[in-house]
Chain A
Amino acid sequence: MRKLLLEGLLRRPLTEPAPETEDAALAALAAALERAARRRLGRSLSIREVDAGSCNGCELEIHALNNAFYDVERFGIRFVASPRHADVLLVTGPVTKNMREALARTYNAMPNPKWVVAAGDCALDGGCFAGSYAVVGGVSQVVPVDLHIPGCPPSPTALLKGLLALLESVGSARTHPSTGSG
């Protein structure tokens, strides 16, 4: 136990800008996101995630944002348990009919200003599940979407870039930005 803790202290942390350009670029990206959040919101960014019937692939990559390579929390990006504490609703999945009401309710429980980010190809228009009797076919059918992040699933990098683009594109004073699926 102690050995691992010590190693954790002494060894170069994984999250420092690493020699690989990819990791350095990631750190820069997350830092930019933090600055944008402070500028736009005056504080860090709180995200409430809702799985509206995804295949769970998108969730895995959202989880990865918290691993030591990406570690978005150190940039003040937090995933919160209650919609009442959230600025951003991050939605995955084609929105199944069985999840439509739960998604709408979660959105309605969020205070203004609020933004919706639809993550993953099937969150745009249902993706390969479009046309099914059991699927609404895209997040924007149920709640207004401010930004869509493509990918199946979007990589952690793509997710970070998307969140940054969102913050850069919105004004701080507006209660609700223009909608559209980005």
Chain B
Amino acid sequence: MPGLSDLMLEGSRVQGHRPAPRAVVDPAVWNFTVGKIAEGHWTLLGLWGEAAAVHMALLDEDAGETAVVSLDCPDGRYPSVAQRHPPALRLERAARDLFGLTPRGLPDMRPWLDHGRWAESDPASQPYDFLPAEGEGLHQVAVGPVHAGIIEPGHFRFTVSGETVVRLEQRFGYAHKGVESLMAGAALTQAARLAGRVSGDSTVAYAFAFARAAEAALGVEPPERAQWLRALMAELERLANHFGDFGAVRNDAAFPLLHAHAAVLRERVLRAADACFGHRFMRDRIVPGGVASDMAAGSTDMLHGLVADLRQRFPKLVELYDKTASLQDRTVGTGIVKPPLARQYGAGGFVGRASGRPFDARRTVGYPPYDALRFDVPVLDRGDVDARVWIRIREAEQSMSLVEQILRGMPGGPIAADLPSRAGEGMALVEGFRGDVLAWIRIGGDGKVARCHLRDPSWFQWPLVEAAVEGNIVADFPLCNKSFNCSYSGHDL
């Protein structure tokens, strides 16, 4: 079985791409690689384009190694990945919208992010052909982009037979802000701010991934203390989101009591974050080179107090969830993602780990300071709403322990390193609460961003929502969807 290092020998190595290698390959090697991905030998981590080239990030899960393969396509055409590996479909449609790259053999040529409204002269929407669904007694229900609740914009087209969902088709792109085009030519500091605004709930994870990719490109190690502070912020962000969603899933199952209590835990974490780092979401605190500011005085004691409080309250909520038969009734066996599908899509985060995929970027690829910390990566294989809830419960427990370990082990010293001005390329994978955020960057000789690509974990999770609701009743969709809690903005970029 070839390893990624063997694959790199088949192309021409790009100098200055760190820490993982990148090689420019010919169409034959590109197709060989696609075949290996389709066989499940390697996992597709991302696919993105630029003016005359297309790139794939790959993961060898057993070896914990990553690599990038690139194919030059001066005529804007390349052999489609999705024709043999469906998880690439939306990524290829997006790269076509954004860079005009045409994947030869792409099974679905409809635009994805481009709704035909970007040119000033073209304000009216283009009609979008939803997939046909034919059969007796079928009808369609259209929802969005504006929803009844306080929810991000997106469109869901349900084909139903009676109460049962026969098919769900998603349409996204409503939140597309053109982040990657704004990054091109931007200074690192400005690009870091943009990265932190790709998906607000994961602002720490994005800033973390962007900073690591930029540091890799520049060949800089941030000081140890900065790395530990980053992990502290990342675990606080994970806790806030796991608590908030734990409650929200319960709310969609008509159980507001748990929702209220879980929201209180979330709020406590946000207030603590504000007191320590001066912002409830800790936005713009992680910057290339380190962190922007140190913890406020007294933070260590305050955070120990926070964790002690959470450790007391959270188990009661968990017990309540566990013991309430009417809740379990809604969540057990609902919205199932089978393990082979999660593996094929390389689904990250609790979505993958609830369906038997044991991947966690903190562990499998790894980055400091997690190599010095003890934590479990919980995995289940039932793949239903209940399993996703339990993974998040277990992860919240792990994060509480991580916060304590980080506070105890926090090294002293400086919190930022100087950044040299030099060209380079870098890639990083950081585990956000939702899953692995991929950041890839090319820095030009002027020290500015030449190209940056950010891949939200939702790209490989949203399609699984479509699969999971099939055969469920329409009324279970909000619960099922919330149990994934994919990002619209992170996906639309």
A93 to B197, CA, bound (A): 11
Q: Does A51 contact B (CB under 8 A)?
A: yes
A119 to B270, CA, bound (A): 19
Q: Does A175 contact B (CB under 8 A)?
A: no
Smallest CB-CB separation from B117: which chain A residue?
A: A97
- In the bound complex, do residue A132 and residue B199 qualify as a contact, i.e. CB atoms below 8 Å apart? no
Interface 1/0s, chain B 165-196, versus A by CB < 8 A? 00000000111111101100000001001100
- In the bound complex, do residue A152 and residue B283 qualify as a contact, i.e. CB atoms below 8 Å apart? yes
Contacts of A55-114 to chain B: CB distance below 8 A:
55-64, 66-69, 79, 81-82, 93-94, 96-102, 105-106
A67 to B269, CA, bound (A): 13
**Residue from the list B115, B281, B316 in contact with A98, Cβ < 8 A:** B115
Using Cβ atoms and an 8 Å threshold, which residues of chain B touch A79? Answer: 149-150
Q: How many A-B residue pairs have CB under 8 A?
A: 149
- In the bound complex, do residue B146 and residue A55 qualify as a contact, i.e. CB atoms below 8 Å apart? no
Using Cβ atoms and an 8 Å threshold, which residues of chain B touch A82? Answer: 148
- In the bound complex, do residue B123 and residue A100 qualify as a contact, i.e. CB atoms below 8 Å apart? yes
Q: Does B334 contact A (CB under 8 A)?
A: no
Partner-contacting stretch, out of B256-264, B408-416, B437-445, B446-454: B256-264
Number of A residues near B (Cβ < 8 Å) is 51
* A133/B199 contact (C-beta < 8 A), A51-B152, A52-B153, A69-B267 known: no
- In the bound complex, do residue B266 and residue A67 qualify as a contact, i.e. CB atoms below 8 Å apart? yes
Smallest CB-CB separation from B264: which chain A residue?
A: A68
Using Cβ atoms and an 8 Å threshold, which residues of chain B touch A98? Answer: 115, 117, 173-176
* A4/B118 contact (C-beta < 8 A), A53-B175, A58-B200, A64-B267 known: no
Using Cβ atoms and an 8 Å threshold, which residues of chain A touch B153? Answer: 51-53, 99, 102
Interface 1/0s, chain A 102-131, versus B by CB < 8 A? 100110000000000000001000001101
Interface 1/0s, chain B 470-493, versus A by CB < 8 A? 000000000000000001110010
Q: Does B15 contact A (CB under 8 A)?
A: no
Closest beta carbon of chain A to B196's beta carbon, Å: 9
Chain B contact residues (Cβ within 8 angstroms of A): what range? 35 or more
Using Cβ atoms and an 8 Å threshold, which residues of chain A touch B487? Answer: 56
Q: Does B100 contact A (CB under 8 A)?
A: no
- In the bound complex, do residue B178 and residue A55 qualify as a contact, i.e. CB atoms below 8 Å apart? no
- In the bound complex, do residue A56 and residue B200 qualify as a contact, i.e. CB atoms below 8 Å apart? yes
Contacts of B248-289 to chain A: CB distance below 8 A:
257, 260-261, 263-264, 266-267, 270, 280-281, 283
Using Cβ atoms and an 8 Å threshold, which residues of chain A touch B174? Answer: 53, 96, 98-99, 102
- In the bound complex, do residue B200 and residue A60 qualify as a contact, i.e. CB atoms below 8 Å apart? yes
Using Cβ atoms and an 8 Å threshold, which residues of chain B touch A101? Answer: 117, 123, 125
Closest beta carbon of chain A to B491's beta carbon, Å: 11
Contacts of A17-69 to chain B: CB distance below 8 A:
49-64, 66-69
11 of the cross-chain contacts (CB-CB < 8 Å) are A1-B323, A4-B257, A14-B264, A54-B489, A59-B200, A66-B263, A98-B117, A128-B193, A129-B182, A132-B179, A152-B283
| Residues in B lying within 8 Å of A, measured CB to CB | 115, 117-118, 123, 125, 145-146, 148-153, 173-179, 181-182, 190, 193-194, 197-201, 203, 244, 257, 260-261, 263-264, 266-267, 270, 280-281, 283, 316-317, 320, 323-324, 487-489, 492
